[in-house]
Structure 1
Amino acid sequence: MRRKLVAGNWKMHGSHTANAELLAGITAARPFGCDVAVCVPFPYLSETAVALAASEVRWGAQDCSAHEQGAYTGEVSAAMLAEFGCRYAIVGHSERRQYHAETDQQVADKAKAALARGITPIVCVGETLAQREAGETESVVKRQLSAVIHTLGHCAGEMVVAYEPVWAIGTGKVATPEQAQAVHAVLRAQLKAATPQADAMKILYGGSMKPDNAATLMSQPDIDGGLIGGASLKAADFVAICRAAS
């Protein structure tokens, strides 16, 4: 069986005091029966690395440049992240696609850059409400994932995939377990056609996962954990989701 992964995405939240309290609350609850990670804003990478140094909780970034180095003001390379011991990098989050106009190929290039430095990319795919209502969910997520599979080639099996229906992110709306599983099954089939590692790959659900729905969602056969937004900012809620994954 695939070991579950629960990854918190703090988005643009945090402060020295709040971070210390949150991380202390999470680490105090270990051991966990699943893999656990927190993906934090760039300014807090160093202090998070120090705070989690003796913990089983891993940490990651919320983005990663596709470029190795150069005149790219404001960007952070995978090489820089790797120096801190970064384990994960979220790429292709719907907010990056929407607010920064990131294309499928740009997301794929970021995933490739992360893997080249030993960082596991958490590749996000998902449809908007309009696309779901138009019956385009499957074609949208397959198109988004296809670009990454093609770019990574034989390394495609080394990524983590996160299905995040855009209409369920931060809205309080949640895909039913059946809706989520249906899309996860589509993604698993696509991965199976691309890599022999597909059965061992993790596909996370991201979209208003909370303590009261986490266990039901993660009981589905192809849902291997969660990419957690708002609930990752409260230690008690995040720990409860980790317990549900266990």
Structure 2
Amino acid sequence: MPRQFFVGGNLKMNPTNLQAKVALVKNLNDAQLDPATEVVIAPPSLYLLPLKDMLRKDAKVAAQNCYFKDAGAFTGEISPSQLVDAGIPYVLLGHSERRTLFHEDSELVATKTRAALDKGLSVILCIGETLAQREAGETAKVNESQLKPVINLLKESDWSKIVIAYEPVWAIGTGKVATPQQAQDTQKDIRTYLSTAVSPAVAESTRIIYGGSVNGANCKELATLPDVDGFLVGGASLKPEFVDIVNSNK
């Protein structure tokens, strides 16, 4: 079966008021979107429920993070159980900003992933290397080291609920984009690693999407690559061109 194209919009801590988010959602709701593409929007947690209610029914919302405990004295956190109870189907885990700014290591990301899956959430799992790591020829090593703790905690059947987002850290919010050849080669390497570390079936069926300064101008070419199954979009998800990115696989 062909892998369903996937486009996620990570709004991060933007914009700073609900009115702006309503305008963003209206733009999406009014657009003609490719029905073959899965669309997921990740707003700040404060706006998850209002956006879920406003958003067209053929699109979904995702939390930008969650903890691995169901309840307890964990001020400021959201649990997988709470997300499920609120009707939120997806959670974003392991984003480079969580890894670098909040010092989440790959073992913690794996623990969160296991907890999210156990409660029935689907996970957008982010991995990616820094510029120094790429220049040192360590891209594959870094991606594999970030995936391995997750692989160790997952069963083969769990992978149907995982979307891997390859996001080269050096391309996030910088305007720099991996060349189509860089994106394809890296995502093919990730798929090859899944084939040996999990199974060929999982490697073939798991969606691997690209993130890193994706916009309306570069999405069409990237969408044609055989191992790019969609995008995780940052800044451009706040703009009307997000519709063009959603439709880039038409």
TM range, normalised to the smaller chain?
A: over 0.9
Give the drift of 1:148.
0.8
Structure 2 segments unaligned to the other structure (5+ residues) = none
In structure 2, distance between residues paired with 1:24 and 1:228:
18
Contact in 2 for aligned 1:149/1:156 (Cα 8 Å):
no
Which string of whole-angstrom CA distances, capped at 9 and with x for unpartnered residues, describes residues 20-79 of structure 1?
110011011144231111011000011011112x52011101111111211111110011
In structure 1, distance between residues paired with 2:100 and 2:175:
19
Residue 65, structure 1, aligned to residue 70, structure 2: no
Match of 1:212 in 2: 217
Aligned length, in residue pairs: 244
Counterpart of 1:36 (choices 35, 39, 58) is 39
Q: Secondary structure at the match of 2:209?
A: strand
Structure 1 segments unaligned to the other structure (5+ residues) = none
Q: Secondary structure at the match of 2:39?
A: strand
Residue 5, structure 1, aligned to residue 9, structure 2: no
Q: Secondary structure at the match of 2:150?
A: helix
TM-score by length of structure 2 reads 0.94
Change (3 A) 1:106 1:149: same
TM-score by length of structure 1 reads 0.96
Residue 117, structure 1, aligned to residue 122, structure 2: no
Contact in 1 for aligned 2:209/2:231 (Cα 8 Å):
yes
In structure 2, distance between residues paired with 1:245 and 1:106:
34
Q: Which runs of 4+ in 1 moved over 6 A?
A: none
Residue 130, structure 1, aligned to residue 135, structure 2: no
Match of 1:230 in 2: 235
Match of 1:165 in 2: 168
For the aligned residues, what is the CA RMSD?
1.1
In structure 2, distance between residues paired with 1:75 and 1:186:
34
Give the drift of 1:84.
1.8
Counterpart of 2:104 (choices 96, 102, 120) is 102
Counterpart of 1:244 (choices 229, 245, 248) is 248
Which string of whole-angstrom CA distances, capped at 9 and with x for unpartnered residues, describes residues 127-153 of structure 1?
000111111111000110111111113
Give the drift of 1:210.
0.5
Residue 187, structure 1, aligned to residue 198, structure 2: no
Which amino acid letter does the alignment assign opposite residue 23 of structure 1?
A: V
Which amino acid letter does the alignment assign opposite residue 198 of structure 1?
A: A
Contact in 2 for aligned 1:49/1:84 (Cα 8 Å):
no
Q: Secondary structure at the match of 1:245?
A: coil
Which string of whole-angstrom CA distances, capped at 9 and with x for unpartnered residues, describes residues 76-113 of structure 1?
00111111211211100000000011010100111111
